[in-house]
A and B are shown apart, each in its own frame.
Chain A
């Protein structure tokens, strides 16, 4: 399998810059296997990312890649998809990238139901800038900007995406790497805005400060905390506290943005003739 995966990597840029045990590489690996499984033409596959440790992922991929600015990956991706709707576009973002500075782009991409596949690397922290809390840092957890524990409630990315209008919403952890791969495949096949939240470890900026151990220990913690959608149905809200629900969380139906746009173009062209 490595040779197939490697055919989509820019091998000359490896070893990558991520810290030992960082989960970003596991998400990247699942994405590559998913694209391989989808059988997409590499020349028609686009990967757009923002800024953050996780967003460095785009630079390691041998597709059409765009490493943009913090919080704006979805804005760039929207432009690409509108100009070239036939391309398959993946958008890689960190939790801070997608829900703090990029929060508005996120909800409006969902509201438009534009056919993009967004993968959010949720490591509960601003990894790249040294461990400031993000909108996904759980209450009570420590960050450089929350030395006594975070007093803010965190977003639920899945609920946020669903509420804003996304038509495919799923979550997996890096421990559940095969599930993550399958969810990316299903999300990419959805004709609309798809959000896949990948719970991933930042041992250096988050784990160490919160006494969660190294990358391996954080991976095993994900295994302990995760419950499948099926298991969660039988659990009370109290039992579900601090649990990570994994699997396909939501599928909806809505008109897709670029298709609507094409329709308008066709209609107005007809009028002008």
Chain B
């Protein structure tokens, strides 16, 4: 299993602030504190390196404002 974890992965976090309504669901459900709300109350990526690509933010965002793409390199 350690091998599987060792496969390098590139994770792309795509946010679309224009669609975000600042509900905070993604911020609260992210297990790694990757996301936050900025001064205008919209989603912002604050710790991109911590993202594990779990996709919880994307599937729970009611506004289609986050996309996670995990690519095995």
A interface, CB within 8 angstroms of B: 1-3, 5-6, 9, 14-16, 18-26, 29-30, 33, 174-175, 177-178, 181, 214-216, 219-220
B69 contacts the other chain (CB 8 A): yes
| Cα distance, A14 to B61, chains bound together (Å) | 14
- A-facing residues in B22-49 (Cβ within 8 Å): 22-25, 28-29
Question: Which residues of B sit under 8 angstroms from A216, Cβ to Cβ?
Answer: 23-25, 28
Contact residues of A: prevailing secondary structure: helix
- Distance between A125 CB and nearest chain B CB, rounded to angstroms: 17
CB-based contact A219/B64 at 8 Å: no
With contact pairs A1-B68, A215-B23 given, residues A18 and B62 touching in the complex (Cβ less than 8 Å): yes
Question: Which residues of A sit under 8 angstroms from B59, Cβ to Cβ?
Answer: 26, 29-30, 33, 177-178, 181
| Cα distance, A220 to B21, chains bound together (Å) | 18
Instruction: Return 8 A-B CB contacts under 8 Å, by A number.
Output: A1-B58, A3-B67, A3-B69, A5-B64, A6-B64, A9-B64, A14-B63, A25-B63
- Distance between B71 CB and nearest chain A CB, rounded to angstroms: 12
| Cα distance, A26 to B67, chains bound together (Å) | 13
Question: Which residues of A sit under 8 angstroms from B8, Cβ to Cβ?
Answer: none
Question: Which residues of B sit under 8 angstroms from A30, Cβ to Cβ?
Answer: 59
Question: Which residues of A sit under 8 angstroms from B64, Cβ to Cβ?
Answer: 2, 5-6, 9, 14, 25, 29
Nearest A residue to B68 via CB reads A1
Question: Which residues of A sit under 8 angstroms from B25, Cβ to Cβ?
Answer: 21, 215-216, 219
Question: Which residues of A sit under 8 angstroms from B60, Cβ to Cβ?
Answer: 26, 174-175, 177, 219
| Cα distance, A175 to B56, chains bound together (Å) | 10
- Distance between B4 CB and nearest chain A CB, rounded to angstroms: 20
